Chain A
Amino acid sequence: MHELSLVESLLEILASEAQAQGYRRVTGIALEVGHFSHADPQALQFCFDVAAQGTLAQGAVLEITHQAGAGQCRVCGSQVALANRYDPCSRCGAFGVAVSQGEALRIKSIEVI
């Protein structure tokens, strides 16, 4: 459950931006979670509901979008979609596709008042 640590980081970022961006409460959070990001969306949601209690993001809607996995084949150079890190290249069949997308763990935007 390292998702709890990740949610604590998220809440710290929200608190640290409050003054600079001039908001008192966060009502919505758009979070992008990559397919290979080591974090589980359901666990993030669960931890958020618990950890946000008593913070400026209490009750905020956490909207998690999935970033698909993709990579570049080291053999034929094609950009291919990837469901697993160890999948072979869907064009040439070679193993060892280098992951180029799907590691995101990013707050894209927030709704504030």
Chain B
Amino acid sequence: MCTTCGCSVGAEHASQDDTTGRLVRLERDLLEKNDRFAQQNRDRLQQHGVLALNLMSSPGAGKTSLLEQTLREFRSHWRMGVIEGDQQTRRDAERIEAAGGLAVQINTGKRCHLDAQAVGHAMLQLPLMDLDLLFIENVGNLVCPAAFDLGEAVRIVLVSVTEGDDKPLKYPDMFATADFMIITKTDLLPHVDFSVEQCVAHARTIHPELTWMTLSSTSGEGLWPWQIWLDQQLTALRNAP
């Protein structure tokens, strides 16, 4: 072990001066494999006219609750599937199934995000030809999922009013890569120190075109605009050349 920093390099530091070594130019992107699988997923989804939405947020922002409400309210309107990402357990998949949805659970183990390969495998367990919407509930984490394209059509970031309205400034990568922001748990607004205007202003300094809405899965406020927004996205996907 290296005595300076404790890294594992150790005696191998000397190998830099190995005269038999040669330099190979590679110019290869670390995310190229993920991006290749993401493109495959996107092609399969497009082929079946399925709108895939990647839901990302901190743990507890209300992703699963929103999906439960969406399944209960709109199951006669769309055919919906859900891919659930969590480190452990099938609890969220069970909640989705109890709400009448079709769910595939991915357990990421030690991993803190979903990747396109895992999502591609999960998609094989769903009847894509029979679906309109595919929700991908990412691991609750406002950092790591930002780096990984899953092949989704829309990236949604959720922020609950019980968090700080400065979350967009603290976690800019997530808000920079999201296409849409949902501010959740608005039924709690009278009880918390959260300004919707401030949160939107902060998000828009990072991502000026970011569109957004507010809703409460508990009171049902905002569910109707959510339905209209989803309809617009699905129509846009199916009318794309």
Contact = CB atoms under 8 A, between A and B. Distances in A.
Instruction: Report whether over half of chain B's contact residues are helix, strand or loop; otherwise say mixed.
Output: mixed
Contacts of A4: 110-111
A21 interface: yes
B119 to A, nearest CB: 14
B211 to A, nearest CB: 15
In this complex, the interface size class of chain B, counting residues with CB under 8 Å from chain A, is 35 or more
Given A5-B113, A38-B146, A38-B173, A109 B25 contact: yes
A45 B34 contact: no
Interface of B: 7-13, 15-16, 18, 20-34, 110-113, 115, 143-144, 146-148, 169, 172-173, 176, 205-206, 208
27 contacts: A1-B144, A2-B112, A5-B115, A6-B31, A9-B30, A9-B33, A21-B24, A27-B16, A28-B21, A38-B144, A38-B173, A49-B9, A53-B8, A58-B8, A60-B15, A61-B15, A74-B208, A85-B172, A86-B169, A86-B172, A105-B30, A108-B25, A110-B24, A112-B21, A112-B22, A113-B15, A113-B18
Interface of A: 1-2, 4-6, 9-10, 12-13, 17, 21, 23, 27-28, 31, 36-39, 45-46, 49-50, 52-53, 58-61, 74, 84-86, 95-96, 99, 105-113
